[in-house]
Amino acid sequence: MPPPRTREGRGPWDRPRAPSPEAAPEKWNWNCPETRRLFEDAFFGDEDYIRQGSEECQKFWTFFERLQRFQNLKTTRKEEKDARQPKHSHPALADLPRAYDPRYRINLSVLGPDARDSRGPGRRLPPERASEFRQALLHYLDFCQKQAFGRLAKLQRERAALPIAQYGHHILQMLKEHQVVVVAGDTGCGKSTQVPQYLLAAGCSHVACTQPRRIACISLAKRVGFESLSQYGSQVGYQIRFESTRSAATKIVFLTVGLLLRQMQREPSLPQYQVLIVDEVHERHLHNDFLLGVLQRQLPQRPDLKVVLMSATINISLFSSYFGNAPVVQVPGRLFPITVVYQPQEAEPTTSKSEKLDPRPFLRVLEAIDNKYPPEERGDLLVFLSGMAEISAVLEPAQAYASHTQRWVVLPLHSALSVADQDKVFDVAPPGVRKCILSTNIAETSVTIDGIRFVVDSGKVKEMSYDPQAKLQRLQEFWISQASAEQRKGRAGRTGPGVCFRLYAESDYDAFAPYPVPEIRRVALDALVLQMKSMSVGDPRTFPFIEPPPPTSLETAILYLRDQGALDSSEALTPIGSLLAQLPVDVVIGKMLILGSMFHLAEPVLTIAAALSVQTPFTRSAQSNPECAATRRPLESDQGDPFTLLNVFNTWVQVKSERGRNSRKWCRHRGIEEHRLYEMANLRRQFKELLEDHGLLAGAQAPQPGDSYSRLQRRRERQALYELKRRHEEGVGRKRKVLRVQDDQDGWSSDEDRGGSASRGAGDSVDIQDVKFKLRHNLEQLHAAASSAQALTRDQMALLKLVLGRGLYPQLAVPDPFNSSRKDSDQIFHTQTKQGVVLHPTCVFTNSPEVLHAQEQAARGSDGSRDDRDKMSSKHQLVTFVSLLETNKPYLVNCVRIPALQSLLLFSRSLDTNGDCSRLVADGWLELQLADTESAVRLLAASLRLRAHWESALDRQLAHQARRRLEDEEEEEEEAPVNHKEVAALSRELLQFMTSKVSYSLRRLTGLEAQNLYVGPQTITAAPSLPGLFGNSTPSPHPTKGGYAVTDFLTYNCLTSDADLYSDCLRTFWTCPHCGLHMPLTPLERIAHENTCPEAPQGGPPGAEEAAPEPPQKASALQKPYHCEACQKDFLFTPTEILRHRRQHV
Amino acid sequence: MACETERTPLGVFKCQLCALTAPYSYQGRQPPDSQSVVLLEESYVMRDPFTPDKGRFLVVGSRCSMCGRLVCVGPECSLFYSKRFCLPCVQDNVDAFPQEIQQDLEKRKVPFTRPASQRSS
Ligand SMILES: [Zn+2]
Ligand SMILES: [Zn+2]
């Protein structure tokens, strides 16, 4: 109630209650800042209950003003009061004050300043005013007490009213008697928040509670901390990938499943816990399923460890029977009745493969609600759609409808939204208006929104499914399961009776699978297998999973890990594999990190690895916004997306380290979701620590600011930041805002969007993310790293690409030869397993596809054909990519362009040649035809040597790392694992190799060609004597391909060729420039001789000369005299020309 | 950073009327860390769980000065009028209290017993 104004309103100086004889001669003004300061000095000192200048102090004055107005109202009645005093027997009643005064109802007292310190500032206050002030303070403190107690009581009432409250005792009892107990209850029964507290109350002190999602760890820790009244204590903590609030006093910790598994990796028996709660087991996440498997095996070794499995009421018997018929405590959900309305969509005329979702059925529901339910009856609508595209298909028409009727606020909800936008679904709609939330299945279990009365269920979900053959992630649309349908329906009945509209027929529902497909049957299992190997749980094929994965997925994963070098041929972890198992990242990204640190490229590689491990920071809206696109352009790198991300991150760090610049704004202008950059920074730091831990990176000490002054300065800054953070946390508990109905077009928004700091508390204008960032990271160090990365030399850049290329290998695609004559938007690519893939729209090459074309080359007959097919060029490129994502098309995501020939020579798992090595086939699908045999052989030889070099350096690095871990910190000051000079030499050689210019053609073999690639096993087994060419290995006949296996990847002379040539025919007379040897030799033999020629100058690797820019088409250098037997003529021919010539005679 | 000097609870306070429970960390009239505030009854006190400020306390309950029951400070269980009285005792001796309090009780009109919001444990 607004207090009515009395008197002149402004001057509460005249307190009418008891006009004192010595009333102030002048006007007393409580509003005068000096007056207030005087009292604050006296009462709100550093030691006092309320401190000067605090938020509390402001609250007090507000209260004070209200109290004064209130007392002005009441005084008149006051005087007539008198007391009767009947005698009472009980002594407690005997001395009750006769005359009522509200202050007798207050159970505390405040000492006046004079009572505490006679010399203090209180001396100068008029006693009358001081006592008035004290009374007000008393009332204020009483008010605060009542308020806080009210919250406490409410909290307990709510807890007691939860369905699970009736079962707490029972659960504890069960847990006494059994090792494993299953608690099954639907969302809203309170199991996730209450069971941990029952355990706490029962005296358990080492409780871990796993959650599938990081967000849940944080929010549950907060909630449970709050409810168990240790919100600001430390009994309840959480631990997630980047943060931990755990301390010695922590009794219960919420952590992710992944983290618990890592703890088990170190100590399988989990000695640090007494009770383990595994929440949301019904979601059947990969890690959760695996955890259950490990637990099942581990429990006999830890009979004292208690396990609580918490599940929705889905398939409970599965979990119970997996743990030897563990008892089940089933808690009924608290659901109000829900009416189900089936509204199957009549078979719509399939409009052009129905690319876009028809929004009409959804609009009809909105209309139906408007017609049937008066707007005063509150209740919001939650619409489940299969994916983001479907959400946007409905969003627009729904918003149009909303702005027409003014009765709806339409909000999207999916995981790619910014956090702030996601939060909007929790805001409230103004009276008479309903929220309509268009959501993916994120709202099925992860996000709980109150106040939903209507649910529309499309019956569809898009899920990543994994094709192990193609190693391809597909986002596909499926019918949901009955369990999901029930879950969705249930969202309508949490706050009152509800209605669920199912946009499918009841018969469809009956045909749904009972449960969703567990993740283990849908996704790639590389990471899981790697983890299983590192935890030594035995052969993944025989591991007793609660439900086993498809055998093909397991086999693919094992094969993949062998391909990637993480497992050896006996499927044991290799050194690199065991390192990879400890890096919580994708295998390819882990490899990048390891390779990068070897070449002293750790800083940029750390950033890139982090960037590739989080969701893209580029917001979708910005794609359609040309302004965003333009401001972003300078950050783009035409080398590839990871480099763009590197630029974005580095520039962002730059912006952050410049005083007074607002990184939030900077990001917004460029259509960048800043939150992702914070995640990158966190991840980057974690990677760095991992590399340091594993001795791959010298733990560079932060360059301490030298003098004590700057240290002090720095400490002060940090203190200020802590203070900011603390104050922010005080004011946390985001208040719900009222949404605005859209006026017209600009969609929905909360007041927050416009008012900015005006509508929020002053303390809230702080960018808390920025504060946390600056507290967590050493900005100076980051900044230094960023600037060094920005100053990457061309060589470093090339090396970086090599590192990425090797890490990502074999994820690469070849541009279609006709791309150069295609429209920019029609560029297509082929991978080994998949033809006709396209660049993801976010990819930097979509704007400049020409950088991927082999722009060449007048030299070879300009026969008018404008395609790259068979085109000779030294600049063919491949696109290596981080992932292949299939939605409506197969997309290459996060691409880098790399030189084709050199990369294939360095990375291919299988490299096959013809007799003179002018024709190479990489991994059985890419054919390279080199113009010149001699340079082909040289390049091949150089690549062999480089690979061996690189491999041994890497092996030693990893072995060193493994040894270091064994010996532990025995010797801190060890020399670098692989010596600096060696790495420098290797880098130099690699760079020279990469820049070598050789003309060649590149094409993808057709299926038929690929089938008939090899000559097959040969009866003649005379090995070619090519000493030195292929190192010291003695080639042996290849059992299946034919030809000779030179190394584990290189097979010489196994390719069939139409002009079935014997290498002998290519012998020509040749004189060694070093020793003067003169005899007919094949090019191969020549190289072999040169490599071993005793007179040859040692040192410079033969491949190096190749690096000298050398125009491959220059005739003279390569032409040799040639005598043709067929036509009896002498020519001056290059080896290729010889081939061509000979072909005429066939 | 912040040192976690959690004052360990002395025990759990439980209201004998409404069964509200709360861990208390101090019992008496002079809560620690707040020299300028004194309590007018022997109280069960916890640190205010709703503020990060460590010096703030919250009085959860005390003994009825007539019957000696432990009661919480909630208005459904007790009132303070220069001393603590549980509501049953107030009801029994209602005319010993000034009219203001009687009127308050009238207005409240809630039966003093709040049956079993917490049944077990
Ligand atoms: Zn009570
Ligand atoms: Zn009593």
CB contact (8 A) between residue A198 and residue B121: yes
Q: Which residues 728-787 in chain A show a CB within 8 A of chain B?
A: 729-730
> Which residue is closest to B9 within chain A, CA to CA?
A230
Q: Which residues 161-180 in chain A show a CB within 8 A of chain B?
A: 161, 165-166, 168-169, 172
Q: Which residues 133-152 in chain A show a CB within 8 A of chain B?
A: 141, 145, 148-152
Residue A188 is predicted with a pLDDT of 73
Of the ligands numbered here, which is closest to the C-alpha atom of B69?
2
The rounded distance, in Å, linking the Cα atoms of A435 and A426 is: 10
In terms of Cβ atoms closer than 10 Å to its own Cβ (0-12, 13-18, 19+), residue A836 is exposed
> Which residue is closest to A84 within chain B, CA to CA?
B98
CB < 8 Å to A165, chain B: 118-119
CB contact (8 A) between residue A111 and residue B52: no
Per domain, the residue ranges of chain A are: 5-77+96-149, 162-331, 338-347+356-517
Per-residue model confidence as pLDDT tens digits over A40-87: 888 887 777 888 878 888 889 999 988 888 877 665 444 444 445 556
CB < 8 Å to B95, chain A: 86
> Which residue is closest to A109 within chain B, CA to CA?
B38
- The verdict on A1044 touching B (C-beta cutoff 8 Å) is no
CB < 8 Å to A249, chain B: 4, 6
Report residue A819 as tokens.
């791309």
Residue A809 is predicted with a pLDDT of 85
CA of B15 to the centre of ligand 1 (A): 5
CB contact (8 A) between residue B120 and residue A104: no
- The verdict on A244 touching B (C-beta cutoff 8 Å) is no
The β-bridge partners of A409 are A435
The β-bridge partners of A1004 are A926
CA of A1048 to the centre of ligand 1 (A): 80
The rounded distance, in Å, linking the Cα atoms of A461 and A439 is: 11
- B58 near B26, Cβ under 8 Å? no
Give the pairing of strands A1129-1133 and A1120-1124: antiparallel
3-state secondary structure of A502: strand
CB contact (8 A) between residue A97 and residue B82: yes
CA of B89 to the centre of ligand 2 (A): 4
CB contact (8 A) between residue B93 and residue A107: no
Query: Interior CA angle at A69 toward A68 and A71, to 5°?
Result: 65
- B121 near A198, Cβ under 8 Å? yes
Q: What is the DSSP letter of A1033?
A: P
The rounded distance, in Å, linking the Cα atoms of A140 and A20 is: 23
Per-residue model confidence as pLDDT tens digits over B72-100: 999 999 999 999 999 999 999 988 899 88
**E strands in A352-451:** 380-384, 408-413, 434-439
Give yes or no on whether A162-331 and A338-347+356-517 have one common fold: yes
- A944 near A914, Cβ under 8 Å? no
The rounded distance, in Å, linking the Cα atoms of A920 and A1051 is: 10
Q: How far is B91 from chain A (nearest CA, A)?
A: 13
CB < 8 Å to B73, chain A: 107, 145, 149
Per-residue model confidence as pLDDT tens digits over A1012-1035: 888 777 665 455 555 556 555 667
Residues 6+ apart with CB under 8 A from A910: A922, A923, A924, A1049, A1051
The rounded distance, in Å, linking the Cα atoms of A572 and A557 is: 14
The rounded distance, in Å, linking the Cα atoms of A1066 and A1070 is: 12
In terms of Cβ atoms closer than 10 Å to its own Cβ (0-12, 13-18, 19+), residue A321 is exposed
Of the ligands numbered here, which is closest to the C-alpha atom of A152?
1
Q: How far is B107 from chain A (nearest CA, A)?
A: 17
CA of B63 to the centre of ligand 2 (A): 8
CB contact (8 A) between residue A149 and residue B59: yes
ipTM: 0.89
CA of B113 to the centre of ligand 1 (A): 9
Residue B118 is predicted with a pLDDT of 42
Query: Other CB atoms closer than 10 Å to residue A792's CB: what's the count?
Result: 18
- A809 near A560, Cβ under 8 Å? no
Q: Backbone phi, then psi, for B78, in 5-degree steps?
A: -155, 170
CB < 8 Å to A116, chain B: 35-36
Q: How many CA atoms lie within 13 A of A340 on its CB side?
A: 15
CA of B20 to the centre of ligand 1 (A): 6
Written out in words, the top-level CATH class of the domain with range A162-331 is alpha beta
Alpha helical stretches, state H, A123-213 = 127-161, 168-177, 191-201
Who surrounds ion ligand 1 at CB < 5 A? Answer: B 15, 17-18, 20, 72, 74, 77
Look-up: residue for tokens 């405040």? A110
Residue B52 has its nearest CB partner, among A49, A198, A232, at A232
Q: Which residues 86-105 in chain A show a CB within 8 A of chain B?
A: 86, 88, 90, 92-93, 95-97, 99-100, 102, 104-105
Of the ligands numbered here, which is closest to the C-alpha atom of B118?
1
- A613 near A807, Cβ under 8 Å? no
Question: Which of the residues in chain A have pLDDT under 50?
Answer: 1-24, 76-83, 350-353, 701-705, 731-733, 744-764, 857-866, 969-975, 1021, 1059-1061, 1063, 1098-1117
For the beta sheet containing A408-413, the strands, ordered from the edge strand earlier in sequence to the opposite edge, are A338-342, A498-502, A452-457, A380-384, A434-439, A408-413
The rounded distance, in Å, linking the Cα atoms of A198 and A310 is: 14
User: For residue A999, how far is the Cα from the chain centroid?
Assistant: 42
**E strands in A769-841:** 812-815, 829-830, 838-839
Look-up: residue for tokens 């009333």? A23
Dihedral angle, C-alpha A621, A626, A631, A636, nearest 10 °: 80
- A501 near A343, Cβ under 8 Å? yes
> Of the candidates A1004, A1021, A1026, A1000, which has an alpha carbon nearest to the alpha carbon of residue A1013?
A1004
Supply the CATH classification number for the domain A338-347+356-517: 3.40.50.300
Interface mutation vs chain B, best among A44, A46, A49, A51, most B CBs within 10 Å: A49
Residue A357 is predicted with a pLDDT of 83
- A1083 near A933, Cβ under 8 Å? yes
Residues 6+ apart with CB under 8 A from A265: A531, A534, A535, A581, A582
- A1063 near A1020, Cβ under 8 Å? no
Q: What is the DSSP letter of A875?
A: -
Radius of gyration of chain A (CA): 37
- B25 near B7, Cβ under 8 Å? yes
3-state secondary structure of A838: strand
Residues 6+ apart with CB under 8 A from A61: A36
The string over A1035-1061, giving b where at least 16 C-beta atoms fall within 10 Å of a residue's C-beta and e elsewhere, is: bebbeebbbbbbeebbbbbbbeeeeeb
Q: Backbone phi, then psi, for A757, in 5-degree steps?
A: -70, -20
Report residue A1032 as tokens.
């010291």
> Which residue is closest to A232 within chain B, CA to CA?
B52
Residue A1107 is predicted with a pLDDT of 36
- A375 near A400, Cβ under 8 Å? no
CB contact (8 A) between residue A109 and residue B40: yes
Residue B62 is predicted with a pLDDT of 96
CB < 8 Å to A201, chain B: 121
CB contact (8 A) between residue A111 and residue B36: yes
Residues 6+ apart with CB under 8 A from A430: A738, A739, A740, A741
